[in-house]
Amino acid sequence: MAAVDYRLEGEIAVLTIANPPVNALSLPVREGLMQALERAGGDPAVKAIVVTGEGGTFAAGADINEVSSGLVLKSPITREVQARMEAASKPLVAAIEGVALGGGFELALACHWRIAATTAKVGLPEVKLGLLPGAGGTQRFTRLAGPEAALEAITAGHQIPAPRALELGLVDALADPALDGALAFARRAVAERRPLRVTSDVGERIRGVDPELFAAFRRKLEAKARGQLAPFRIVDCIEAACTRPVEAAFARERESFIECRDSPQRKALVHLFFAEREARRIPGLGPEVTALPVHRAAVVGAGTMGGGIAMALANAGIPVSLLELSAQALERGLGVVGKSYDASVARGSLTRSQADAALGLIRGVSEYPALAGADIVIEAVYEDLEVKQEVFGRLDRVAGPHAILATNTSTLDIDAIAASTSRPEKVVGTHFFSPANVMRLLENVRGRHTSPETVATVMALAKRLGKIAVLAGNCDGFIGNRMLMFYGAEAEFLLEEGATPEQIDRVIEGFGFAMGPLAVRDLAGNDVGFQIRKGRRLPPDERWSPILERLVAGGRLGQKAGRGYYRYEGRTRIPDPEVVALIEQVSRELGIERRSIPDEEILERLLHPLVNEGARIVEEGIALRASDIDIVYVNGYGFPAWRGGPMYWAEEAGLERVIATMRRLAPRRGARWRPAPLLERLVASGRGLSSGLA
Ligand code: COA
């Protein structure tokens, strides 16, 4: 089949884009569309044109590979195809099945009308790739739906469900299948001689817009998207649509598109797009390994994590039994789950009926035998090896022989947990991040005996839950927490040498993290952090700074106590001279002369040890590839996506800088802080982290 199929349905020409897997608008598609439009335009027997997509989807946008090559695209470009469409003298209707995203939706927006299937989704997600819609998307969307809706949807890259798109005026009718609806619509338009509706001429919604709207939205973005280029440029384009002549406004979009396309942020975000897809590929797990079906699930432990995991499963339509032995704790856990669904409804992220349907899938149980029917049981009890071993022993006895037993541990040894069962091949780590029903990351951990089928099942389950899974090997802290240890430890060493909590957090937040390391500690609870630290054994040549312990001893447990590294008024943190005095006291005791530490040094000393440990993790095969680490840090630890993740960021800046920092730190910190051999090999050979040198 050609990239665009042309056929006649009576008097209507149907143009079908056929470019698997997602009908991206690569050159053959654009050429095919151009030719088909010419042909339909020139055939007097054709009275109207319908554009649609093959394989249950309209089009997922420009070909990301083509856009990110940075080369000038070959003609015809999408804008030329659109110009041809808008110049058509016959009704042109888009039939949207599946998704119409990015350039795909921009193409549909250049049709006179759009008919969508009820389950279809439309949107302009370019911002997620550090881009903005460069084929009139910001302009036509704003003209049809108004600037408020455009600002919200395009700066966030939302996929908009068809019913909402109808309300917004982005589509004109819903029909199933969309093609039948579009054909009927086109026939009516012909019969009624309906005037053609060229969207770039539609003007009602862009007139008389209060300029304060844009100023206010920019202020809102300052809080949400600080440091990012594309969201702010999108606001400029939408403002231009409302304030400038058509030609100038379209030109503005074009210039901004090029600026974004050529930015390092675009490059970093495209890296993450492909990294996310690459993370699903597990070497050695061929198509002959199939995932087990998961019809029913169970979760052990109705605390914060257990409740969140149960919600994540229920939200994907999987019935789940939530086990808690004490009736009181079970009731409390279910209460929290219920409240969390209420909050989702109040926020508008779920409808009442969706929330009720999900809640209806969660059944509280208080005895182990009630878990017998589950295909997978996920344990989320207290983080203690003996406790978990006891739970797994019991699970092994009650769960069906086919069932997978997963643990939500964030640091413990999967093999030691598996040893308490008769089915180590079915034991696996599924490390969720809190809140588990919200956070997209899932760190799946393969033990020594975990079977390929078990791995395939938890990877497939992640996709079903709408999560991004990364497969990690079994070691202390797996990928994420193992690296984090160095970051957290160094933050305290910086305090000992002269930094203050607010300086450290300001530098890290300025880099783009949502929160700095000490603010995060206060949020999670310093007692919790200290407890985890006590459970870890340090090599003899390393030490912990005593600062954390002193804070805990002084009742500075964090936000929940109103004081930690900071003083809190509500959730607002306020620098506290008492903490600085405590830190200065520690410096004196250790004989460290405090000095003023430049911001740049803070950044490197926090992030380079993270990257260095990441390189060891790649080298040991704990992570399958460096880009998996980027996925973990961006989705689980607040690393700014537009910087591409720690490994990508470090490589862009030069891996030799990481080596230099580690050479400076290692003599004082211990052998594990020496430069990772992989980094030294890569720098010596002038190669990159994706070279396979690990
Ligand atoms: N250009 C090139 N390739 C694309 C693509 C695009 N716009 N969109 C998706 N693909 C590729 C993916 O890389 C993947 O390839 P792989 O199988 O070799 O890994 C394949 O299509 C399937 O995509 P995937 O994301 O794995 O499938 P999905 O069903 O989970 O999601 C989409 C489908 C369309 C929702 C999702 O791919 C998406 O959001 N795409 C990007 C849309 C976008 O940003 N468009 C604007 C581009 S400027």
Single out the residue in 437, 456, 474 at which a domain terminates: 474
Ligand 1 in reach of 125 Cβ (< 6 A): yes
Answer whether residue 554 is part of any domain. yes
* 19 and 133 within one domain: yes
More confident residue, 434 or 214: 214
Nearest to 673 by CA among 590, 609, 629, 605: 609
Let me know if residue 89 belongs to a domain. Answer: yes
- Please give the Cα distance from 665 to 605 (Å, whole number): 8
Cβ 244 vs Cβ 141: under 8 Å:
no
Rounded distance, CA 463 to CA 235, Å?
33
Pairing mode of beta strands 113-116, 99-101: unpaired
Q: Which residue in 54, 86, 106, 239 is the catalytic one?
A: 106
**Unique residue bearing structure tokens 């797009």:** 273
Ligand 1 centroid – CA 60 distance (Å): 7
Q: Do residues 290 and 456 touch, judged by C-beta distance below 8 A?
A: yes
Could you give phi then psi for residue 573, rounded to 5 degrees? -95, 140
C-alpha to C-alpha distance for 419 and 690, rounded to whole angstroms: 35
Ligand 1 center–CA 406 separation, angstroms: 30
Atom of ligand 1 nearest to the CA of 129: 44
Instruction: Yes or no: say if 85 and 127 are a contact pair by the CB < 8 Å rule.
Output: no
Residues 6+ apart with CB under 8 A from 165: 116, 122, 171
Give the helix/strand (H/E) hosting 215. Answer: helix 212-224
Instruction: Say what the pLDDT of residue 505 is.
Output: 98
Of 60, 55, 64, 51, whose CA–CA distance to 14 is shortest?
Answer: 51
Whether residue 256 is found in the same domain as residue 303? no
By residue range, what is the domain housing residue 82? 4-261
Residue with CA nearest ligand 1 atom 25 = 277
| Segment 641-651, tens digit of pLDDT | 999 999 999 99
Report the length, in residues, of the chain.
694
Q: What pTM was computed for the model?
A: 0.95
Strand partners, 412: none
Task: State yes or no: pLDDT of 25 exceeds 70.
Answer: yes
Domain co-membership, 411 together with 550: no
Q: Which residues of 534-544 are buried (b: 16+ CB within 10 A; e: fewer)?
A: eeeeeeeeeeb
Q: Stretch 5-15: mean pLDDT, rounded? A: 98
Mean pLDDT, range 294-318, rounded to an integer: 97
According to the model, what pLDDT value does residue 1 have? 65
Instruction: Examine residue 382 and state whether it is found in any structural domain, yes or no.
Output: yes
Average pLDDT over the chain, rounded to an integer: 96
Q: Which atom of ligand 1 is nearest to the CA of 125?
A: 44
For ligand 1, say whether the CB of 63 is within 6 Å of any of its atoms.
Answer: yes
Q: Is 67 in the pocket of ligand 1 (CB under 6 A)?
A: yes
Q: What is the mean pLDDT of residues 211-236?
A: 95
Same domain, 653 and 509: no
Say if ligand 1 is within 6 A of residue 86 CB: no
The reply to whether 187 and 38 lie within a common domain is yes
Above 80 in pLDDT, residue 274?
A: yes
Helix/strand/coil (H, E, C) string of 117-173? CCCCEEECHHHHHCCCCCCCHHHHHHHHHCHHHHHHHHHHCCEEEHHHHHHHCCCCE
The CATH number of whichever domain residue 376 belongs to comes to 3.40.50.720
d(CA 449, CA 425): 5
Is 613 one of the annotated active-site residues of the chain?
no
Answer yes or no: do 462 and 486 share one domain.
no
- 38 and 80 part of one domain: yes
Question: What is the whole-number distance in angstroms between the Cα of residue 358 and the centre of ligand 1?
Answer: 28
- Judge if the beta carbon of residue 22 lies within 6 A of ligand 1: yes
- Using CA atoms, how far residue 397 sits from 369, 393, 403, 661, in Å, is 9, 7, 11, 51
Q: Considering only CA atoms, which of 405, 351, 342 is closest in space to residue 374?
A: 405
Is residue 522 included in any domain, yes or no?
yes
Ligand 1 atom with minimal separation from the 128 CA:
44
456 plus 523 within the same structural domain:
no
Name the residue with the closest Cα to ligand 1, atom 8. Answer: 60
Cis peptide before 163 (omega within 30 of 0): no
Q: Which of 618, 612, 594 has its CA nearest to residue 660?
A: 612
Rounded CA separation 20/404 (Å): 35
For ligand 1, atom 42, the nearest C-alpha belongs to: 60
- Measured CA to CA, the distance from residue 661 to residue 675 in angstroms comes to 8
468 C-alpha vs ligand 1 centroid, how far in Å?
Answer: 14
Q: Is 274 inside a domain boundary?
A: no
Ligand 1 and 129: CB distance under 6 A: yes
133 Cβ inside 6 Å of ligand 1: no
- In this structure, are residues 110 and 140 in contact, taking their beta carbons and an 8 Å threshold? yes
Mean pLDDT for 237-255 is 98
Confidence band of 303 (pLDDT split at 50, 70, 90): very high
DSSP states of 42-86 as a string? H-TT--EEEEEESTT-SB--S-HHHHHT-SPPPSSPHHHHHHHHH
Residue 121 pLDDT > 70: yes
Q: Choose the final residue of a domain: 474, 492, 511.
A: 474
- In the sheet with 99-101, reading across from the earlier edge strand, the strands are 99-101, 121-123, 159-161
Alpha-carbon distance of 492 to 612, in angstroms, equals 18
Q: Are residues 58 and 36 in the same domain?
A: yes
- Distance between CA 153 and CA 493 in Å, rounded? 43
Question: Cα of 316 to ligand 1 centre, how many Å?
Answer: 21
Same domain, 635 and 591: no
Tell me the mean pLDDT in the region 328-346.
96
- Asked whether 183 lines ligand 1 (CB < 6 A), one says no
Ligand 1 atom 26: residue of nearest CA: 277
Element (DSSP H or E) covering residue 39: helix 27-42
Report whether residue 102 contacts ligand 1, using a CB cutoff of 6 Å: yes
Q: Pick the residue whose CA is nearest to atom 32 on ligand 1.
A: 60
**423: CA distance to ligand 1 center in Å?**
37
List the residue whose alpha carbon is closest to atom 29 of ligand 1: 22
Q: For residue 525, count CB atoms less than 10 angstroms from its CB and return exposed for 0-12, middle for 13-18, buried for 19 or more.
A: middle
Beta bridge partner(s), residue 323: 300, 365
- Which of 474, 509, 542 terminates a domain? The answer is 474
pLDDT digit string, tens, across residues 610-627: 999 999 999 999 999 999
Residue-by-residue DSSP string for 596-654: ---HHHHHHHHHHHHHHHHHHHHHTTSBSSHHHHHHHHHHHS---GGGT-HHHHHHHH-
215 and 94 in a common domain: yes
d(CA 637, CA 94): 41
Domain match, 408 and 315 both: yes
Segment 154-182, tens digit of pLDDT: 999 999 999 999 999 999 999 999 999 99
Cα 22 to middle of ligand 1, angstroms: 6
The answer to whether residue 370 sits within a structural domain is yes
CB 107 near ligand 1, within 6 Å: no
- What CATH number does residue 240 fall under? 3.90.226.10
Domain count, the chain: 4
Q: What pLDDT is stored for residue 295 in this prediction?
A: 98
CATH number, domain of 646, equals 1.10.1040.50
Residue type, 538: L
What is the per-residue pLDDT across 443-479, written as a single tens digit (0 to 9) for each? Answer: 999 999 999 999 999 999 999 999 999 999 999 899 9
Task: Evaluate whether residue 158 is within a structural domain.
Answer: yes
The secondary structure of 326-358, three-state, reads CHHHHHHHHHHHHHHHHHHHHHCCCCHHHHHHH
Mean pLDDT on 288-293: 95
Rounded to an integer, what is the distance from CA 588 to the centroid of its chain? 44
Atom of ligand 1 nearest to the CA of 131: 48
The predicted pLDDT at position 101 comes to: 98
- Amino acid occupying residue 112: H
Mean pLDDT of 12-23: 97
Candidate from 203-207, 499-503, 553-557 with smallest mean pLDDT? 203-207
| Ligand 1 pocket check for 323: Cβ under 6 Å | no
- If you average pLDDT over residues 190-218, what whole number do you get? 96
* Exposed e or buried b per residue across 466-490, where buried means at least 16 C-beta atoms within 10 angstroms of its C-beta: ebbbbbbbbbebbbbbbbbbbbbbb
Q: Which of 17, 22, 25 to mutate to test the pocket of ligand 1 (most atoms within 8 A of CB)?
A: 22
Beta-bridged to residue 376, according to DSSP, are 297, 404
- Of the residues 27, 64, 65, 132, which should be mutated to test ligand 1's pocket, given the most ligand atoms within 8 Å of the CB? 64
Q: Please confirm, yes or no, whether 367 is among the known catalytic residues.
A: no
Domain for residue 88, yes or no? yes
Which atom in ligand 1 lies closest to the alpha carbon of residue 157? Answer: 44
In this structure, the strands spanning 48-53 and 12-17 are parallel
Number of Cβ atoms within 10 Å of the Cβ of 220: 13
Question: Which of the residues 54, 86, 97, 126 is marked catalytic?
Answer: 126
CB 300 within 8 Å of CB 395: yes
Q: What do you get for the CA distance between the two ends of the chain, in Å? A: 42
